[in-house]
Amino acid sequence: MTAINIVASKYLHGTLNTPQRETGVRQLIQRVAETIRDWGWQQGYFATAEDRDTFHDELVHILVQQKAAFNSPVWFNVAATGWSRSVTRRTGTGTSKKARLSFRPLAYKAPQCSACFINSVKDSLDSILTLAKTEGMPVQVG
């Protein structure tokens, strides 16, 4: 039940109780697999349309059968659309403040699809030890 709750609350896109809401894992996988397939096609990764379609079908199979899974940023961000919140603050006279809240459509053109980040290191003992400390912090704090 925990996995179902996580998928429903974190990964499915769309506003609750609307037709735009993804309703299950198959729609989630469809969104991600089709987007990755389309990116590959647009960037010339596949030699033929048949190669493109085979890649898509095999990726869907791997994901549905849970032979492999992407990390959370893929499920969150690939083909993500929604609304971005913008807050404008204005200072009035004295201590009064006014804020204007507006929403604008958002479509991720270059989504963050990785939870891994590359840290730089120089050729010095101090830099190497700093890198080791930086890389070890996620392990320490989870």
- Tokens 């940023």 belong to residue: 73
pLDDT band at 5 (very low <50, low <70, confident <90, very high): confident
Q: What is the mean pLDDT of residues 11-39?
A: 89
pLDDT band at 132 (very low <50, low <70, confident <90, very high): confident
Residue 131: exposure state from Cβ atoms within 10 A (0-12, 13-18, ≥19): middle
pLDDT higher than 80, residue 141: no
pLDDT higher than 70, residue 34: yes
pLDDT higher than 60, residue 105: no
Residue 37: exposure state from Cβ atoms within 10 A (0-12, 13-18, ≥19): buried
Give dist(CA 51, CA 46) in Å, integer: 6
DSSP 74-99: HHHHTT-EEEEEEEEEEE-STT-EEE
Q: Is 133 left (phi over 0), alpha (psi -120 to 50) or beta?
A: alpha
Q: Give the single-character DSSP code of 105.
A: E
Provide the H-helix boundaries in 15-102.
25-42, 49-64, 72-77
pLDDT band at 71 (very low <50, low <70, confident <90, very high): confident
| 134 contact partners, CB below 8 Å, separation of at least 6 | 119
